[in-house]
Amino acid sequence: MKARVLVTLKPGVLDPQGKAIHHALEGLGFDGVNDVRAGKLIELDLADDTDDAAIEDMCRKLLANTVIENFKIERLG
Amino acid sequence: MKARVLVTLKPGVLDPQGKAIHHALEGLGFDGVNDVRAGKLIELDLADDTDDAAIEDMCRKLLANTVIENFKIERLG
């Protein structure tokens, strides 16, 4: 079973990497970019009997820093 | 209009960050993790008239290194 975890900075947390990407896009001539936020993507290949609670546990214990980051789990079947 | 870009390493490209996460998960006692791949997530807040071609152009020119990375664009409406 495949799952992916999307880790994003919480709103209000400064994101210098996103800001740098934003400026670079403008420098390349891309108009209409209002905001950019950078995050992490973690793709997991898991045993089929892994339940959502286990994945959430992985996120809380290792994959995300819940003080400053949100995470979202998406099962890909 | 919001969109997100998922940047992942191509199959076959070594992923030491993913390997490190995998080992750390095993060290924490999580069983049944077969593989972990680490990637990047870039959230874009774009003008409503931005078309897919423009986003793909951003990926090819800046957001992804297409020699070693794949990218996937998801519009969030």
User: B40-69: per-residue pLDDT in tens?
Assistant: 999 999 999 999 999 999 999 999 999 999
Tokens 């998922």 belong to which residue?
Answer: B6
ipTM given for this complex: 0.93
Band (pLDDT 50/70/90 cuts) for residue A77 is confident
Domain range for A33 is: 2-75
Distance from CA of A5 to the nearest CA of B (A): 10
**Which strands sit side by side in the sheet containing A69-75, from one edge to the other?**
A69-75, A2-9, A33-46, B33-46, B2-9, B69-75
Q: How many domains does chain A have?
A: 1
Find residue A42's DSSP bridge partners: A5, B38
CA-nearest residue of chain A to B22? Answer: A44
- Domain CATH for A55: 3.30.1280.10
Instruction: Name which of A37, A57, A58 is nearest B43 (Cβ-Cβ).
Output: A37
Distance from CA of B61 to the nearest CA of A (A): 8
**pLDDT tens digits for A27-55?**
999 999 999 999 999 999 999 999 999 99
Helix (H), strand (E) at residue A34 = strand A33-46
d(CA B2, CA B75): 6
Output the six-digit token pair for B48.
């409503």
Interface mutation vs chain A, best among B7, B30, B48, most A CBs within 10 Å: B30
